[in-house]
Amino acid sequence: MKKYIFMLAVALSITLNVAAQKFENLALTPPMGWNSWNTFACDISEKTVKDMADLFIELGLDKVGFEYIVIDDGWMLKERDKQGNLVPDPKKFPNGMKAVADYVHSKGLKFGIYNCCGSQTCGGYPGGRGHEYQDALLYASYGIDYLKYDWCNTGKMYAPEAYKTMRDALYTAGRPVVFSICEWGDNQPWEWGAEIGHLWRTTGDIYCCYDCEYVVKKGEPDQWSAWGVWPILRMRKDIRKYAGPGHWNDPDMLEIGKCLSAAEDRSHFALWCLSAAPLILGNDLRTCTEETKKLITNKELIEVDQDKLGIQGFEYQFKDSISIWVKPLENDSWAVGFVNTSKDEKVLNFDFKANVIVDKDFNKTLDANKTEYVIRDLFEHKDLKTTTKKPVTAKIASHDIFMVRLTKK
């Protein structure tokens, strides 16, 4: 089987005459799922993946839209076999990768895997460079539905062409795959990613903190930084216009349920929803608290993220430590989040009629003087008032968010 995959890959890469492309009609809303890296790094196993699949069902994650279970770095042996194929680590995955994929699929979920453009992955395992068509066929034989493709050990490779090669290989293998471009925003993937992948990382890695920079040194003078929730969200300006159905800006995976306060978790999740970001959990679902479960299964927040209009939100105003984020939705509805970035409680007093909000990128206007909206609290799940009444008031704890949806009356 392995020899057959190798020979077929060689033949396809030499004789391919079909104009390859990315798979269309996938990720029409931001992908939702779970990835192993944030909690387990390379310490993953068949049992862990099966446990997560079981918990998707037990926690009801599948019912609110979470569907992908993605294995990150460290799933294979340190060397390819004699035919050049990747080999799942038999200690971690004794029944092979297809058995794991079959188990995930048996739960009605989808299965994802990881590799890298370079000669080695970030964890030092075999990368995909020079093996793209061979690897794509192997992934198809496993039954994968999602590929996260990293950018370590790439030397002087040209990112758009490197990712295009893997895109073409996946398309040639014939199994529809959501292709996640993970080159950290270094080469402006929002400018070229839409024709190649379904989502692209916009920054370096997220770090489990609210507002920090964590410098990771890999030997002087080489170093790189990971970032907390707040800085990573605001790091890129003017790229929201590149995102939409089938091609999303990706500010990295969620750190919810790991190290943040409950208020910070709420802000993190709600801001990712306002940003039309992929919602990829990274916590250990086996220790998921009721509070975390309630947050990540909040249908009204998720509906904001999954809105079919597919417009990424933006920061409308920053005043007195309160950051206001708005997102146009279908049917002339809007989602609005008020984030308290300070260390002290803040009292919100916001008059929608006094704030005409214009989205210049997508030609949308929120004008409460012309349209009356019902204001709904998306955490308390209740209607508050309409925009013709008095200004909206709320007490917002430190690093917390007050989030509402405005629907035409």
DSSP of 36-93, one letter per residue? Answer: SHHHHTT---HHHHHHHHHHHHHTTTGGGT--EEE--S--B-SS--TTS---B-TTT-
Peptide bond before residue 221 is cis, with ω within 30 degrees of 0: yes
- The pLDDT of residue 17 is above 50: no
Tell me the mean pLDDT in the region 320-341: 98
Q: At what angle do helices 96-106 and 132-142 cross, to 10 degrees?
A: 50
Query: Mean pLDDT throughout 210-232?
Result: 81
Position 48 scores a pLDDT of 97
Distance, CA of 369 to chain centre: 36
Using alpha carbons, list the distances in angstroms from residue 398 to 194, 314, 326: 37, 21, 20
Model pLDDT, residue 223: 73
Q: Could you tell me if 287 and 389 lie in one domain?
A: no
Count of CB atoms within 10 A of residue 185's CB?
22
Tell me, what amino acid is at 404?
V
The reply to whether 361 belongs to the active site is no
Nearest-angstrom CA–CA distance, 118 and 156? 10
Alpha helices in 275-332 (DSSP H): 290-296, 299-305
Residue 186 near residue 235 (C-beta atoms within 8 A): no
Average pLDDT over residues 67-93: 98
| Poorest-pLDDT segment among 7-11, 98-102, 346-350, 377-381 | 7-11
pLDDT score of 218 more than 80: no
Confidence grade of residue 52 (pLDDT, cut at 50, 70, 90): very high
pLDDT value at position 18?
53
Shared domain for 284 and 353, answered yes or no, is no
CA–CA separation, 173 vs 171, rounded Å? 5
DSSP H helices, 68-226, are 96-106, 132-142, 159-173
What letter represents residue 331's amino acid? N
Both 361 and 223 in one domain: the answer is no
Annotated catalytic, 150? yes
Whole-number Å distance between alpha carbons of 389 and 240: 32
Task: Name the pLDDT band for 96 (thresholds 50, 70, 90).
Answer: very high
Contact between 180 and 148 (Cβ < 8 Å)? yes
CA dist 11 and 15 (Å) reads 6
Residue type, 359: D
pLDDT of residue 245: 98
If asked whether residues 261 and 380 sit together in one domain, one would say: no
Model confidence over 120-162: pLDDT tens digits?
A: 999 999 999 999 999 999 999 999 999 999 999 999 999 999 9
Tokens coding 363: 């030609």
Q: Is the confidence at residue 15, as pLDDT, over 60?
A: no
Question: What's residue 219's pLDDT?
Answer: 56
Angle, in degrees to the nearest 10, between helices 132-142 and 2-15: 130
Are 177 and 209 in contact, with CB atoms under 8 Å apart? no
- Residue 130, CB half-sphere, CA atoms under 13 Å: how many? 7
| Domain termination residue (choose one: 247, 273, 305) | 305
Q: How many CA atoms lie within 13 A of 46 on its CB side?
A: 16
Co-location of 52 and 194 in the same domain: yes
pLDDT of residue 45 exceeding 60, the answer is yes
Q: 350 with 391: CB under 8 angstroms?
A: yes
Residues 114 and 157 in one domain: yes
Is 118 or 219 the better-scoring residue by pLDDT?
118
Q: State pLDDT tens for residues 258-315.
A: 999 999 999 999 999 999 999 999 999 999 999 999 999 999 999 999 999 999 999 9
Record the pTM: 0.94
Residues 384 and 280 in one domain: no
Q: How many CA atoms lie within 13 A of 176 on its CB side?
A: 7
Q: How far apart are CA 261 and CA 75, in angstroms?
A: 31
Is pLDDT at 54 greater than 80 in this prediction?
yes
Query: Which of 305, 335, 354 represents a domain boundary (last residue)?
Result: 305
Residue that wins the pLDDT comparison between 54 and 7: 54
Average pLDDT estimate for 178-207: 97
Q: Are residues 47 and 151 in the same domain?
A: yes
Question: What integer pLDDT is reported at residue 225 of this predicted model?
Answer: 87
What pLDDT was estimated at residue 121?
98
Cα–Cα distance for residue pair 59/53, rounded to 1 Å: 10
Q: What is the mean pLDDT of residues 190-211?
A: 97
Q: Which amino acid is at 42?
A: C
Domain with residue 227: its CATH number is 3.20.20.70
pLDDT at residue 217 tops 70: no
The pLDDT > 90 percentage for the chain reads: 91
Does 297 share its domain with 318?
no
pLDDT in tens, 226-263: 999 999 999 998 999 999 999 999 999 999 999 999 99
User: DSSP secondary-structure letter at 127?
Assistant: -
Catalytic residue among 89, 135, 150, 250: 150
The CATH code of the domain that includes 328 is 2.60.40.1180
3-state secondary structure of 214: strand
Number of domains in the chain: 2
- Vertex 182: Cα angle to 180 and 188 (nearest 5): 110
Catalytic residue among 89, 135, 168, 205: 205
Q: Could you tell me if residue 194 is left (phi over 0), alpha (psi between -120 and 50 degrees) or otherwise beta?
A: alpha
Residue from 20, 50, 22, 23 nearest 36 by CA: 50
Average pLDDT over the chain, rounded to an integer: 94
Residues 276 and 359 in one domain: no
Q: Domain boundary at 252, 278, 305, which?
A: 305
Residue 28 dihedral angles phi and psi, to the nearest 5°: -70, -20
User: Are residues 234 and 146 located together in one domain of the fold?
Assistant: yes
For residue 17 the two structure tokens come to 């005459």
User: Residues near 259 by Cβ (< 8 Å), separated by ≥ 6?
Assistant: 208, 209
In this prediction, residues 359-369 reach a mean pLDDT of 97
In the numeric block, which tokens belong to residue 349?
């007093």
Average the pLDDT over 203-217 and give the result: 90
The residue segments making up the domain with residue 351 are 314-408
pLDDT of 1 strictly over 60: no
Tell me how far apart the alpha carbons of residues 402 and 371 are, in angstroms, rounded to a whole number: 22
Q: Considering the chain, what percentage of its residues have pLDDT values greater than 70?
A: 94
Same domain, 189 and 134: yes
- Checking if the pLDDT of 337 tops 90, the result is yes
Give the pLDDT mean for 61-78: 98
